[in-house]
Amino acid sequence: MAALVLAAHGSLSHPGAAQSTYEHADRIRDLEAFDEVRETFWKEAPSFREVLRTVKSDEIIVVPLFTSEGYFTRRVLPRELRLTGEEPLDVEVSVSIADPVGTHPAMTEVIERRGQRVCTGSLDDVGLAIVGHGTERSETSAKATQTHADRIRRRDLFGAVDALFLDESPYVESVFDRMTASEIAVVPFFIADGEHTTEDIPAAIGLKEGHQERTVKVNGRTVHYSGAIGTEPVITDVILDRAEDAGVDVAKARSHLPPVARLGGA
Amino acid sequence: MNKETLSAAERSFLALVETTQHHRDSTTWGQLAIRHHAGEGPQYECRHVDDRGTTRENLDQLDGPTALRERTRFDNSGCYRPLKTAPNLPTGWYLAPSDSTRLIEAISVVYPASIENWYLERQGELDITHWREAVARQTGRYGDLDTIDPSTLTTLVRTHCTDDSCLKRRQWELDGEHGIDVPGDDGVFPCREPCPYFLEAAKQFQDGAIEAGEQFKPE
């Protein structure tokens, strides 16, 4: 059997940032589909640089718990794992990096459901604001957020759908200018409830600190804030799907997943 | 899994635990005290070194790696421990791993990669990455850390890397030829390159958020 390594950002200031990664890892460990399941973080130990040496299996599948195909998944992670060909690997095993969870088609539904859940009335009058990280460092970073927003828009469930970003245009601060709906559901397309979802986004849209799902009045509009989507149990199944794409047989393990963590099962 | 599936590093670590047992009561690994019990029942026990004289009745029994992870992510004041090798491991608990595999699992939760790097060092194969090489590969917000001068770097190391701040024993220097003259580092397992915590401390200094002799404390 192979080993599964879940690579996430982590945080030096927010313990909650690693929580969703630990939860998905624990759930997958219980399935016994892999010899080993390890977590690794950019900001916490074990670092990307040192995680491979902690694995004993001769095949390692790394699944990035990132929302986009961008700076971290294309540049930082391969470099830190020594997979760019510029320096030799520190282990003598086969290592492959799967696509990040955030670009998986099922994430469209995860975002949509999260938006639905925080709203109370008819969605026809609700604007769904999906907030991604985005970065000027990578042209592809915003793409997944935009793709999911486009898909949800076509499904016509919400009155309006927009994709906004923390670190590139259109910035999250512009949400009240860009959306005319009197009711807005703000769903952060983030894996972790860290600094961005508990401080930066709430501050940018006039909410007080804290990541709990809640509804408040801002600028005369009703704002429903959902917190990071990475805690959704169904992302465990998305991770399994990514590992399956990388060649691991997860069919039997998947059947043991609790319904709430199964794609199409909740 | 049984002992046959253990790696050479893990077998070597277990041998260290056995050997130490012959001479003293427990093996010290960072702030962990590890004991081996012969006979029936759980074969090992881990607790904080400061709890060595405490009876089990006065400690919380943790039932596995998840409980251990949750307990050790916060210090005794309930503050988050972003640096797992900081000397602020919480006290007041014990874990009784049933076998060597469970023990290794517990050590990996508290001090990830410590057994592997300790073993590589013993074999003379530790891959040390010195400061200049480590920052040369950085990009993004750490991309200009190479402008920090050696004197400032020394102060940052004195503030963040000695035993008062981190239990790893620093093996990286300025580069392959120039050392960083900061003593006071006696940890059992090595530090093979500037860690994410140190890089962030250096960045905070560069941004003017902390002085060179001031310890970085994330909020």
For B50, which DSSP code?
G
Q: Which chain A residues in 108-167 lie under 8 Å from chain B, judged by CB atoms?
A: 137
What confidence tens digit (pLDDT) does each residue in A107-119 have?
999 999 999 999 9
Q: Which of A14, A22, A54 sits opposite B113 (nearest CB)?
A: A54
No. of H helices and E strands in chain B? 7, 7
> Mean pLDDT, 10 residues at a time, over chain B (219 residues)?
72 93 84 91 94 97 97 97 97 96 97 98 97 96 96 96 95 96 89 97 95 88
Q: Identify the CA nearest to B123 among candidates B41, B15, B12.
A: B12
- Residue A53, pLDDT above cutoff 80: yes
Q: Is A29 on the interface with B (CB under 8 A)?
A: no
* In chain B, residues 39-68 whose CB comes closer than 8 Å to chain A: 66
> Taking the CA atoms of chain B, what radius of gyration do you get in angstroms?
19
Q: Are A110 and A163 in contact (CB under 8 A)?
A: no
Contacts of B192 in chain A (CB under 8 A): 50
Helix (H, G, I), strand (E, B) or coil at A136: coil
Nearest-angstrom CA–CA distance, B125 and A60:
22
Minimal Cα–Cα distance from B119 to chain A, Å?
11
* Contact residues, chain A, for B193 at CB < 8 Å: 49
Report DSSP letters for A148-203, one per residue. HHHHHHHHT-SSEEEEEESSSSSBGGGHHHH---SEEEEEE--SS-SHIIIIIHHH
Worst-scoring range by mean pLDDT, A81-85, A96-100, A259-263, B89-93?
Answer: A259-263
Residues of chain B neighbouring A54 (CB-CB closer than 8 A)? 108, 112-113, 116
- For residue A212, the model assigns a pLDDT of 64
**Selection from A101, A30, A89, A24 nearest residue A60 by Cα:** A89
Q: Is the pLDDT of residue A266 over 60?
A: no
Q: What percent of chain A has pLDDT over 70?
A: 97
Instruction: Report how far residue B116's alpha carbon sits from residue B138's, in angstroms, rounded to the nearest whole number.
Output: 24
Kindly list the residues from chain B whose CB atom is less than 8 angstroms away from the CB atom of residue A45: 83-85, 111-113, 195-196
Residue B112 to residue A50, Cβ atoms within 8 A:
yes
- Residues of chain A found within 8 Å of residue B84, distances taken between Cβ atoms: 44-45
The whole-number pLDDT of residue B4 equals 47
Its ipTM equals 0.95
Considering only the beta carbons, identify the residue of A11, A45, A137 that sits closest to B112: A45
**Tokens 């602020």 — which residue?**
B88
Cα dist from B133 to A146, B37, B171, B172, whole Å = 37, 44, 14, 10
Chain B residues with CB inside 8 Å of A75's CB? Answer: 139
* Beta-ladder partners of A183: A126, A222
Question: Which pLDDT tens digit goes with each residue over A118-128?
Answer: 998 889 999 99
Note whether A50 contacts B117, CB cutoff 8 Å. yes
Residue A25 confidence (pLDDT) above 50: yes
Q: How far apart (Å, rounded) are the C-alpha atoms in residues A109 and A117?
A: 12
| Residue A234 or A137, more confident | A234
Cis ω for the linkage preceding B196 (within 30 of 0): no
Stretch A69-88: mean pLDDT: 93
Name the pairing type of β-strands A221-225 and B32-36.
unpaired
Does the distance separating the beta carbons of B66 and A15 come in below 8 Å?
no
- Of B3, B216, B199, B12, nearest in space to B114 by CA: B12
Please give the angle made by the CA atoms of A130, A149 and A251, to the nearest 5 degrees. Answer: 100
CB contact under 8 A, B192 and A56: no
Mean per-residue pLDDT, A26-52: 96
Indicate the average pLDDT of chain A: 92
CA angle at residue A39 from A36 to A40, to 5 degrees?
130
Place of tokens 């491991």: B89
B158 in A contact zone (CB under 8 Å): no
Q: Do A13 and B120 touch (CB under 8 A)?
A: no
B44-48 and B93-95 strand pairing: antiparallel
pLDDT in tens, A164-193: 999 999 999 999 999 999 999 999 999 988
Note the pLDDT of residue B3: 37
The whole-angstrom separation of Cα B128 and Cα B46 is 29
Which pLDDT value is given to residue B103? 97
Q: What is the pLDDT of residue A136?
A: 82
Q: What is the pLDDT of residue B152?
A: 96
Confidence of residue A137 (pLDDT cuts 50, 70, 90): confident
Short-list A100, A64, A56, CA closest to A80:
A64
Phi, psi of A178 (to 5 degrees): -80, -25
Q: What pLDDT was estimated at residue B61?
A: 98
